[in-house]
Chain A
């Protein structure tokens, strides 16, 4: 069955610290997609990244980086040199392609990140 577990419920760091948000997923499919989203206090959702199961390359985008490891079913997100503006709830999600050609997406419960100045 599909499942997404975000290990940390809340993390608190001081500005400029590096922080890693863990995401572990379960799926029986060989084709699937993984996502990270950011939800700042204002409430809107910001798409950060999507990876497919056949692409295990790590990705870096500015201060953000993602580590995808199929062997451990993990898709972890690291923020380098955190800033106050990074304070938000971060969601990890898994999407499987169904037999009918559609797909279903499961979100983790979220990790709330507090970055103190």
Chain B
């Protein structure tokens, strides 16, 4: 049981390049989330998904796209990377939305855009 895994762990991009971050969970969770964390700040929700085939915008969705083709995977795409997207990206999953629940986070992906 690996929990939540993220690929890659670290990446350097040049401005304008594209890339996809992969999040995978093996806990059969319905809900998945992508956050970004900037230095000295809390997390900000980029996009989330409440089930396979569904996605929704969070607090800071601009410049990102997501897909949830399979329940266990949640992909975050940057079509044209900008230096402002330099951040640590965390993926999380949870089994439910309402009531008490546990959210499980991946180890994070450090992205540097030059």
Give chain A's interface residues, CB within 8 Å of chain B: 4, 35, 37, 43-47, 50-52, 55, 91, 93, 100, 102-110
Chain B residues positioned under 8 Å from A106 (CB to CB)? 59
Contact of A44 with B42 in the complex, beta carbons under 8 Å: no
Name B6-57 residues within 8 Å CB distance of A: 40-45, 48, 50, 56
Q: 19 more A-B contacts (CB under 8 A) besides A44-B107, A47-B105, A107-B43? A: A4-B42, A35-B103, A43-B88, A43-B108, A44-B105, A45-B108, A46-B105, A47-B102, A52-B98, A91-B43, A93-B42, A93-B43, A100-B56, A102-B50, A102-B56, A105-B45, A107-B41, A110-B40, A110-B42
**Chain B residue at minimal CB-CB distance from A43:** B108
B90 touches A45 (CB 8 A): yes
Measured CA separation A55–B105 after assembly (Å): 25
Q: Are B88 and A50 in contact (CB under 8 A)?
A: no
